[in-house]
Chains A and B, each alone.
Chain A
């Protein structure tokens, strides 16, 4: 099993192929529906406002050659620090309309989620050198064990699931399902299952 560490180079990303199981370490940032909309609307579609410039720079520094995790965790506060109680992936397809511009603008190399993503993300992975890594949906207790430290949080006002948590992970097992060579496993399986479906439905009256 290949070991990957964030931040990661484009060359290391291009060495990966769909279907491979990998182990990921480093700092990732959680982002789901509100965060994606926020990043695109506040930083990509316009110049960052002066009172958000510092935040933008921080986010940009962490995401460059870094990773976004589609996750809305259960967190527990211990004084000044946070601990992840449960944190599996959320469905990634909801972020399809944002992912390509975020990959391009921030230089994100790794997107972690579940359920796969579509054609726009696949193209962005191919063009900019990024991959989609599939975590096991629902495996929240186990994944929380791979989170060694919650190093910070942005936009906590979005609420616990939607905030951007910075997580130092170690040895998180993931499957490459969209690679930087134009392969999208999810499309391939959807197409193959469509063939089977059509043959089952060909039995009219069935």
Chain B
């Protein structure tokens, strides 16, 4: 079949993602403020964040000026051309940049020269998956550089942290990752975590974990318990919003696992800032597009 033209829908998806923070994340920020002492810098920062979320939505301007790496996770029906879709993603990205929905954010890896339209080697970033459903799903995660710089990968055992190759060891490195990030990843953040895989798979799966709903329960009871525990313990560290001190350092922890080689036990952490920008579209037919 011919691959449909969905450029306008992709621009709409980019616009929603850059300007409209998902409701559950906004609600979590509001809850976090209620836990802080009124008038404290942490409370004030969360109030500013709330105002900013509302304002960006009203004015349809970017929530954060670092509109981030465009991470597209695309599930496409059998027979669609990824070549054609990829060209449309590029067209939509350049147009969204021209409309000031995105900052020109792709610079030459060596010279630093800005391409001006967010296109470049490896940009935008697309993860493809063919599936058996009859419709197309495009999930977009915009992830800025400040939080991306706080990502980490541990190879267990880790002698410094006395982290062995078990879930207790995973807990230790995750708490270390939160401590090392302090407020620099724009806390309160969310951890996407992958246990296993090789080094490159670990970072991809850690990001993929960030696509889960903020309040879902992990299907694996052991990982669900670990997520809850790390969230609780990380919030006892006292780092707080923006690293100002306070009760909320993380809004969530999402842990997945991949098979690994017997010799390797990687724990990979992707730190997502509070400006946790993700939306998706489901394209059924011309004019029949659902956004979530």
Task: State which residues 70-94 of A face B: CB under 8 Å.
Answer: 71-76, 85-88, 90-91, 93
Whether A152 is near chain B, meaning CB under 8 Å from some CB there, is: no
By the criterion CB–CB under 8 Å, are A115 and B184 in contact?
yes
Bound Cα distance A18, B55 (Å):
29
Bound Cα distance A192, B195 (Å):
29
Bound Cα distance A117, B56 (Å):
28
Which residue of A85, A140, A185, A206 is within 8 Å of B168 (Cβ)? A206
Query: Hey, which bits of chain A sit against chain B, CB under 8 A?
Result: 19, 21, 34, 71-76, 85-88, 90-91, 93, 114-116, 134, 136-145, 158-162, 173, 175, 177, 185-186, 189-190, 192-194, 196-197, 200-201, 204-206
Whether B252 is near chain A, meaning CB under 8 Å from some CB there, is: no
Minimal beta-carbon separation of A198 from chain B (angstroms):
10
Interface residue stretch chosen among B30-38, B170-178, B214-222 = B170-178
Whether B238 is near chain A, meaning CB under 8 Å from some CB there, is: yes
By the criterion CB–CB under 8 Å, are A201 and B244 in contact?
no
Whether B3 is near chain A, meaning CB under 8 Å from some CB there, is: no
By the criterion CB–CB under 8 Å, are B65 and A186 in contact?
no
Task: State which residues 53-105 of B face A: CB under 8 Å.
Answer: 55-56, 59, 61-67, 100, 102-105
Task: State which residues 264-279 of B face A: CB under 8 Å.
Answer: 273-275
Bound Cα distance A138, B186 (Å):
7
**Closest 8 A-B residue pairs measured CB to CB?**
A159-B114, A115-B184, A137-B186, A141-B56, A86-B65, A142-B52, A139-B52, A138-B275
Closest to B64 in A: A138
> Which A residues are CB-close (under 8 A) to B162?
201, 204
By the criterion CB–CB under 8 Å, are B44 and A175 in contact?
yes
Q: Which of A159, A173, A194 has the most CB of B within 10 A?
A: A159
Bound Cα distance A134, B243 (Å):
10
Bound Cα distance A75, B102 (Å):
10
> Which A residues are CB-close (under 8 A) to B105?
161
By the criterion CB–CB under 8 Å, are A140 and B171 in contact?
no
Known A137-B146, A197-B176: A114·B41 in contact at CB below 8 Å: no
By the criterion CB–CB under 8 Å, are A140 and B64 in contact?
yes
> Which A residues are CB-close (under 8 A) to B44?
21, 173, 175
Bound Cα distance A85, B186 (Å):
20
> Which B residues are CB-close (under 8 A) to A134?
242, 244
Minimal beta-carbon separation of A175 from chain B (angstroms):
5
> Which B residues are CB-close (under 8 A) to A136?
45, 48-49, 52, 242
By the criterion CB–CB under 8 Å, are B243 and A72 in contact?
no
By the criterion CB–CB under 8 Å, are B65 and A71 in contact?
yes
By the criterion CB–CB under 8 Å, are A90 and B66 in contact?
yes
By the criterion CB–CB under 8 Å, are A160 and B182 in contact?
no
> Which A residues are CB-close (under 8 A) to B240?
189
Bound Cα distance A21, B237 (Å):
23
> Which A residues are CB-close (under 8 A) to B186?
114, 137-138
By the criterion CB–CB under 8 Å, are A197 and B63 in contact?
no
> Which B residues are CB-close (under 8 A) to A73?
65, 103
By the criterion CB–CB under 8 Å, are A141 and B233 in contact?
no
By the criterion CB–CB under 8 Å, are B183 and A197 in contact?
no
Bound Cα distance A141, B113 (Å):
26
Closest to B161 in A: A201
Whether B157 is near chain A, meaning CB under 8 Å from some CB there, is: no
Known A91-B146, A138-B49, A139-B52: A193·B273 in contact at CB below 8 Å: no
By the criterion CB–CB under 8 Å, are B237 and A196 in contact?
yes
By the criterion CB–CB under 8 Å, are A116 and B243 in contact?
yes
Which residue of A87, A161, A193 is within 8 Å of B238 (Cβ)? A193
The 20 listed contacts between A and B (C-beta, < 8 Å) are: A74-B67, A86-B61, A86-B63, A90-B66, A114-B184, A115-B182, A116-B184, A137-B273, A138-B186, A142-B55, A143-B52, A158-B112, A160-B114, A177-B244, A186-B183, A189-B182, A190-B179, A190-B182, A192-B238, A204-B162
Which residue of B52, B145, B184, B237 is within 8 Å of A141 (Cβ)? B52
> Which B residues are CB-close (under 8 A) to A140?
52, 56, 61-66
Minimal beta-carbon separation of B57 from chain A (angstroms):
9
Bound Cα distance A13, B245 (Å):
23
By the criterion CB–CB under 8 Å, are B62 and A206 in contact?
no
